[in-house]
Amino acid sequence: MLENNTNKDERRAKRYACKSRISIKGFEGFAVLKDINADGVCIMSKTYVTIAPQDALTVRISPESSSGVKAFDVQVEVRWIKSSPTLFMAGFLIKEKKESNLFQQYIDCLTGKRPAGTSSPPSNKVFQWSDALATGNEQIDAEHKQLIQALNNFFAVCSVHSSGDAMQKTINFLLDYTVKHFYNEEQLQLRYKYPGYNNHKAFHENFKKNVHSLMVEFINKGPSDELLKRAKHDIGEVIIAHIQHEDTRLAAHIRGQQS
For binding to Fe ion (CB under 5 A), which residues are involved? 185, 247
d(CA 252, CA 196): 12
We find the least distance from the C-beta atom of residue 155 to Fe ion, in angstroms, to be 21
Beta bridge partners of 22: 29, 61
Give phi and psi for 87, each to the nearest 5: -145, 135
Our CB check for Fe ion shows the closer of 112 and 195 to be 195
d(CA 155, CA 160): 9
Amino acid symbol at 120:
S
Q: What SS3 class is residue 53?
A: coil
Helix locations, 82-163, DSSP H: 100-110, 138-159
Our CB check for Fe ion shows the closer of 109 and 174 to be 174
We find the least distance from the C-beta atom of residue 254 to Fe ion, in angstroms, to be 12
We find the least distance from the C-beta atom of residue 247 to Fe ion, in angstroms, to be 5
We find the least distance from the C-beta atom of residue 185 to Fe ion, in angstroms, to be 5
Length of the chain equals 259
We find the least distance from the C-beta atom of residue 200 to Fe ion, in angstroms, to be 6
Our CB check for Fe ion shows the closer of 108 and 247 to be 247
Our CB check for Fe ion shows the closer of 114 and 181 to be 181
DSSP tag of 118: P
d(CA 94, CA 96): 6
128 closest CA partner among 203, 236, 247: 236
We find the least distance from the C-beta atom of residue 228 to Fe ion, in angstroms, to be 24
Three-state SS for 235-247 is HHHHHHHHHHHHH
Our CB check for Fe ion shows the closer of 51 and 239 to be 239
Within a 13 Å sphere around the CA of 146, how many CA atoms are in the beta-carbon half? Answer: 16
Our CB check for Fe ion shows the closer of 108 and 185 to be 185
